[in-house]
Amino acid sequence: MDVVIGLEVHVQLNRLKTKLFCSCPLDYHGREPNTHVCPVCLGLPGAMPVINREAVRSAIKVALALNAEINPVMRFDRKNYFYPDLPKGFQISQYDMPLAWGGYVTIETESGEKRVTLKRIHMEEDPGKLSYKGSITTAKYSLIDYNRSGAPLLEIVTEPVLRSPKEARTFLNTLRIILEYLDVFDGDLEGAMRVDANISIAGGGRVEIKNISSFKGVERALAYEITRQKNLMRRGRKIERETRHFDEANSITVSLRSKEEEQDYRYFPEPDLVPIYTSEFVDDVKDALPEMPWEKRERLIKQYSLSLEKAKILVLDPKMADYFERVAKEIDPRVAASWIVDVLRGELNYRDMSFSEGERRLNSDELVELLTYFLKGRITEKGVVEVIRTKLDHGGSVEEIIQSKGLFSIPQDEIDRLCREAIEKNPKAVEDYRAGKKQAANFLVGYVMKMTEGRADPGETARKIREILEEIS
């Protein structure tokens, strides 16, 4: 059975200072409900919207990066529907004259690269936020916070070209990376990216799953919905066109209402806003486009002689790529890339910590200090990992952690003395080595590591043990 998936991705342009049609500040996260509001975003009678020009610039920046064709003239429309989170009774959105048409995002799948084509990109205002005590299906009442009402949104609509939940999640991850490179969007903020997923199986009606708030949630919702629809079809049941809600707690979708059609929204031009001629913005925005992830990946490979695999991972987060380049100014770039990609990133993932948070706990100067100790032989690889873990969990200065945990390496002359002592005290291991049991040297290395509480460099210790054994043999 062929699965067809299309996504409507709502991206909040939350790097801006103010809302789309008023001067209310956008830094409402963590604030008291209904404190970042005014007559415009509350839809009070007589309040008039005024377009935020920086929002238009940010939207055009996204459209250009996504290879879309920008309309020379765009117009806002009223999308009429009645819901508590819309105080005006309509949403200011775009219909037949949106910001841009077409475009594409290239993703990597198991079978190679795939171009996910876009249908359109349009601007609109965010509605308020409904909060439920429990789930949407069991709550006895809902509360409304209008702080989010009027925040600038982009809706990015794909063509129905995705074929699996995994492809959908990969697309969303790739899109998020592009948006963060453009510096129009902070994906760590609550509500920054929300997804409506449309899914159908050949022979069945199209079902829309509304307001999924996480990429993992999109994958789980689609997987459940595919199973649900296939089971219905096996039993000879018809798949009805409807809108469903994803219940995160139970990983299921539940029916909300029959699927609306475009005519149900009674679109008509917004009379309080004039059409916008985008040509006055496009050239300036083109000149201001930053280095994109695929461009940075190729530059890192060429400039720092990195492998393709390391470069691909570094550019997954613009903050991680910038962090690497700061470290690479002081440390061998390949050493820096290895520690950042293989160790630091792994420790952050284990703690479910963003790179931004990790950078606040272990900044690039501190990693340079730590790796300098390592490259000079003053601390072992194990010691570096221990310092990174301690910094992420508890903080403190690099040198204080090394001192307090006794992580500074033992001098080479002391290692030499301990190696000879290990050989003298373990004649049976020496006899085994002479008899051809080369693994006996590993026992002696372990003996030295135990005596030094892991502070000896294991590679150097093994080399010295074998050197002495060869001498006395």
Q: Report which of residues 274 and 451 the model is more confident about.
A: 274
User: Domain limits of the chain?
Assistant: 3-284, 291-404, 412-472
For the chain, what is the mean pLDDT? 91
- What is the C-alpha end-to-end distance of the chain, expressed in Å? 71
- Closest by CA position to 456, among listed 400, 422, 408, 405: 408
Q: Is the pLDDT of residue 315 over 80?
A: yes
Question: What phi and psi, each to the nearest 5 degrees, are found at residue 248?
Answer: -60, -40
What pLDDT is stored for residue 207 in this prediction?
Answer: 93
As a whole number, mean pLDDT of residues 402-425 equals 82
**What per-residue confidence (pLDDT) applies to 472?**
77
pLDDT at 211 over 90: no
Domain 412-472 belongs to what architecture? Orthogonal Bundle (1.10)
The pLDDT value recorded for residue 200 is: 92
Q: Is 236 a residue whose pLDDT tops 80? A: yes
Q: Higher pLDDT residue, 102 or 417?
A: 102
> 156: alpha, beta or left, given left = phi > 0 and alpha = psi -120 to 50?
beta
| Sequence-separated (6 or more) residues with CB below 8 Å from residue 372 | 330, 331
Of 195, 122, 126, 124, the C-alpha closest to 162 is 195
Confidence of residue 473 (pLDDT cuts 50, 70, 90): low
pLDDT band at residue 457, thresholds of 50, 70 and 90?
A: confident
**pLDDT exceeding 90 applies to what percent of the chain?**
68
Distance CA 101, CA 98 (A): 8
- Residue range 203-227: average pLDDT? 90
pLDDT band at 259 (very low <50, low <70, confident <90, very high): low
Q: What mean pLDDT is predicted for residues 74-98? A: 94
* Among the listed residues 348, 338, 400, 349, the one whose alpha carbon sits nearest the alpha carbon of residue 371: 338
Q: What is the average pLDDT across 255-263? A: 75
For residues 453 and 322, which has the higher predicted lDDT (pLDDT)? 322
| pLDDT score for 260 | 65
What pLDDT does residue 464 have?
Answer: 83
* Whole-number percent of the chain with pLDDT over 70: 99
Token duo for residue 451: 């005596």
Secondary structure (DSSP) of 107-122: EEETTEEEEEEEEEEE
Residue 59 has pLDDT above 70, yes or no: yes
User: Could you tell me the pTM of the whole model?
Assistant: 0.84
Q: What is the pLDDT of residues 323-362, one digit of tens each?
A: 999 999 999 999 999 999 999 999 999 999 999 999 999 9
Chain-centroid distance of CA 9 in Å reads 15
pLDDT, one tens digit per residue, over 110-148 is 888 999 999 999 999 999 998 888 777 778 888 999 999
Q: Residue 185 is encoded by which pair of tokens? A: 């969007």
pLDDT confidence band for 175 (50 / 70 / 90): very high
HSE-up of residue 424 (Cα within 13 Å, Cβ side): 6
Instruction: Give the tens place of pLDDT for each residue, 417-452.
Output: 888 888 888 988 888 888 888 788 888 888 888 887
Q: Span 41-57, mean pLDDT? A: 95
Burial-class residue 199 by CB neighbours within 10 Å (0-12, 13-18, 19+). Answer: buried
